[in-house]
Amino acid sequence: MASYDVIVTNVRVVRHDRPEPETADLGILDGRIAAIRPGLDPAEARTVVDGGGKLAFPGAVDAHQHWGIYNPLAVDTETESRACAQGGVTSALTYMRTGQYYLNKGGPYAEVFPEVLANSQDRSYVDYAFHLAPMQRGHIDEIPSLVSEHGVTSFKVFMFYGSHGLHGRSADQNSFLMIPEGERYDYAHFEFVMRGIQAAREQFPDLADEISLSLHCETAEIMSAYTKMVEEEGTLTGLAAYSASRPPHSEGLAVSIASYLAHETGLPTINLLHLSSAKAMDAALRMAEAFPHIDFRREVTIGHLLADITTASGIGGKVNPPLRPREDVEALWGHLLDGKVDWVVSDHACCRDEQKFGDPRDDVFLAKSGFGGAEYLLPGLISEGSRRGLSYGDVARLLSWNPAQRFGLRTKGAIAEGFDADIVLVDPDTSWTVRAADSESTQEYTPFEGFELTAKVTDTFLRGRRVLEDGKVVGDPAGRYLARPVTA
């Protein structure tokens, strides 16, 4: 009788807690890693995969995606999870809220979230979970039931939504947010969201460290004023104009406000999302010094690490917060290499060509915000990180271990016995050119078009089942909803 379902032979195993990989074979049984050592007997397995000396990374836990924001959720779940497999992502945590976009409805999560689960069920090629945004007062009351009944332990605040639109200036936010008449999405609401999450941490003490709030930190009033200035002056165009219209100090101010509110409400588990600039990182680090009792986690996207306002391929690179000038990219890398960044994400939001661009097509203020990128997450970080001295172990920590630990995915994030056999084989010596046409995403463009990467994902295993083989998605969707905490 076979001891293993699968043995992956001759790989260099990458772990988050050591800088250099180790040559070994991987034995997989019942979807879990059962053995890690050289010389496993191939006769002991039903299936043997020759790893060919490639690197074996733990599957990436991409903690920031947006399935269903511009396309139907059921469609995005299938197509964009295929892009995940291409990029070595085996667990996708995707944001969801009520209001326009996504399901285009308001109301309680008791009604909305079951629809979210139904739309995504049996369609994903990778495992997935949802962060939810309490958009109205009643959602705060639902936090305990979301934790206990649905395994949702992470929540979000969009700090600029109260008086600024998703893509630019807006004068009608209540209709956009679909919140009840008389309610406001403002700093007071953010405070009460924090108090509600802290109350849930106290109600579920065994989960307290895994119940957290993530914040998109930009300041609406600053952005509205600067957007008007940039448009009226008319000297900047494209991504440079959009970056100037949402200036970095807007991020820094919002980080400071969010941090003080966390201090005021006693909520210690705060995630600062997609910090895009030197000023945003400076504010985040200052707040960590000012409030050492708060367990801040700092997130950066692969887009903000790879592209800037001049190297991105056109205004398809419009995103919130914006891509920045090169000096901000270099500042982010400096902090990342200094250990000040906790995880790297894709912020994947598939926005197809006919939705993305306005008329005229080159007007950045008429374009939609967001783009895909999960398919470039692991190869992109390895390629650029290796050039800068980032170890493979650090890549595994930033993409897998750290987000898995924060968000209650206790069987994810590491190649270790007893963990899910989420394994990604990477050839670190293959140069290739990014072409949107080669992506499994339905997005027809990418701001990374023409970028040269030096590492390539060849095979992705989800709980021991191969979902990407020789660079091609294979089989049927086998991803599962991850009700958290995920335990053995």
Closest CA to 371 of 157, 120, 167: 167
Pairing type for strands 472-473 and 465-469 reads: antiparallel
Radius of gyration for the chain, computed over Cα atoms and rounded to the nearest angstrom: 21
Q: Residues with Cβ < 8 Å from 475, sequence gap 6 or more? A: 465, 466, 467
Closest CA to 379 of 337, 307, 431: 431
Model pLDDT, residue 140: 98
- Nearest-angstrom CA–CA distance, 380 and 390: 12
Closest CA to 247 of 270, 271, 220: 220
- Nearest-angstrom CA–CA distance, 82 and 62: 14
Model pLDDT, residue 445: 97
- Nearest-angstrom CA–CA distance, 132 and 331: 30
Strand partners, 12: 23, 55
In the chain, CATH 2.30.40.10 covers: 4-50
Residue range 4-50, CATH number? 2.30.40.10
Q: How many CB atoms lie within 10 A of CB 373?
A: 30
Q: How many CB atoms lie within 10 A of CB 106?
A: 17
Q: Spell out the per-residue pLDDT of the chain, length 488, in tens.
A: 689 999 999 999 999 999 899 999 999 999 999 999 999 999 999 999 999 999 999 999 999 999 999 999 999 999 999 999 999 999 999 999 999 999 999 999 999 999 999 999 999 999 999 999 999 999 999 999 999 999 999 999 999 886 655 555 555 667 788 889 889 999 999 999 999 999 999 999 999 999 999 999 999 999 999 999 999 999 999 999 999 999 999 999 999 999 999 999 999 999 999 999 999 999 999 999 999 999 999 999 999 999 999 999 999 999 999 999 999 999 999 999 999 999 999 999 999 999 999 999 999 999 999 999 999 999 999 999 999 999 999 999 999 999 999 999 999 999 999 999 999 999 999 999 999 999 999 999 999 999 999 999 999 999 999 999 999 999 999 999 999 999 97
In the chain, CATH 3.20.20.140 covers: 60-410+431-450
Strand partners, 272: 215, 298
Tokens of 82: 């295929």
Model pLDDT, residue 173: 65
Please give the torsion angle defined by the CA atoms of residues 192, 173, 353 and 374, in that order, rounded to the nearest 10 degrees: -10
DSSP 441-462: SS-S--TTTT-EES-EEEEEEE
**Cα 54 → chain centroid:** 25
Amino acid, res. 123: R
Using DSSP's 3-state secondary structure scheme, residue 330 falls into helix
**Cα 366 → chain centroid:** 25
Q: Alpha helices of 99-180 — where are they, by DSSP H?
A: 109-120, 137-141, 143-150, 173-177
Model pLDDT, residue 160: 87
Model pLDDT, residue 121: 98
Pairing type for strands 423-427 and 55-58 reads: antiparallel
User: What separation in angstroms does the CA of 79 have from each of 14, 201, 219, 320, 368?
Assistant: 28, 35, 33, 23, 20
DSSP class of residue 124? -
Q: How many CB atoms lie within 10 A of CB 222?
A: 20
Burial of 462 (0-12, 13-18, 19+ CB in 10 A): buried
What SS3 string covers 99-120?
Answer: ECCCCCECCCHHHHHHHHHHHH
Query: How many degrees, rounded to 5, is the angle at CA 304 between CA 301 and CA 308?
Result: 165
Model pLDDT, residue 175: 77
User: What ranges make up the beta strands (E) of 273-332?
Assistant: 295-301
Pairing type for strands 4-13 and 45-50 reads: parallel
Amino acid, res. 90: T
Domain 60-410+431-450, classified CATH 3.20.20.140, yes or no: yes
Q: Residues with Cβ < 8 Å from 218, sequence gap 6 or more? A: 159, 160, 164, 246, 250, 251, 254, 320, 321
Say if residues 62 and 131 touch (Cβ distance below 8 Å). Answer: no
Tokens of 411: 């069987």
Using DSSP's 3-state secondary structure scheme, residue 172 falls into coil
